[in-house]
């Protein structure tokens, strides 16, 4: 499982090999040399094609897995479970198990996944976020201009009120 779990005082990285490295913010991340951290945490932009192929393969695997699952259920019932319980009970247990897995996935895993995807999308220079950043800077400049204009108008109103 790859990912960064962000806590209040610690960033933890879980690597595929199961190695758990904690970098304590309070120590300034001195547990690892800076050059090693740069090598470990650096991500590479391979363009959209590798990710696109992987995404398409994952989406296609849904259909392959569904077919495989149906064949495995049929084989399991006919060879092993058919002697112990009726097929309706067996299918009911499978549907119930799937519903529990879907609930856990929806309730706990999906929010974390989207949080990670959003962070990665923002981090890797999404064109939409670049435009948003430009827009935000433009709006800040306009807001400052408006503040100056309002200050001038307020001063003019004060001057008028003092003359009366």
Average pLDDT (123-147) is 86
Using a pLDDT cut of 90, give the percent of the chain over it: 48
Please write the tens of the pLDDT for every residue from 73-130: 999 999 999 889 999 999 999 999 999 999 999 999 999 999 988 888 777 767 777 7
pLDDT score at 19:
38
Q: Give a three-class secondary structure readout of the chain.
A: CCCEEECCCEEEEECCCCCEEEEEHHHCCCCCCHHHHHHHHCCCCCCHHHHHHHHHHHHHHHHHHHHHHHHHHHHHHHHCHHHCCCHHHHHHHHHHHHHHHHHHHHHHHHHHHHHHHHHHHHHCCCHHHHHHHHHHHHHHHHHHHHHHHHHHHHHHHHHHHHHC
pLDDT at 125: 66
Please report the pLDDT score of residue 7 as a whole number: 41
At residue 123, the pLDDT reads 77
- pLDDT, greater one: 12 or 138: 138
User: What pLDDT score was predicted for residue 28?
Assistant: 53
Mean pLDDT rounded to a whole number for the chain: 80
């Amino acid at each position: 499982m790859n990912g960064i779990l962000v806590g209040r005082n610690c960033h933890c990285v879980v690597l595929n090999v199961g190695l758990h490295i904690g970098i304590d913010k309070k120590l300034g991340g001195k547990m690892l040399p800076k050059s090693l951290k740069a090598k470990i945490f650096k991500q590479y932009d391979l363009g959209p094609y590798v990710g696109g192929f992987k995404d398409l393969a994952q989406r296609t695997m849904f259909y392959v897995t569904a077919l495989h699952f149906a064949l495995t259920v049929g084989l399991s019932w006919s060879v092993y479970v058919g002697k112990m319980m009726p097929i309706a009970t067996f299918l009911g247990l499978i549907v119930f198990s799937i519903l529990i897995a879907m609930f856990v996935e929806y309730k706990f895993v999906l929010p974390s996944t989207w949080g990670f995807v959003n962070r990665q999308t923002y981090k890797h220079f999404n064109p939409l976020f670049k435009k948003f950043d430009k827009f935000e800077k433009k709006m800040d400049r306009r807001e400052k201009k408006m503040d100056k204009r309002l200050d001038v108008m307020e001063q003019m109103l004060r001057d008028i009120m003092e003359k009366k």
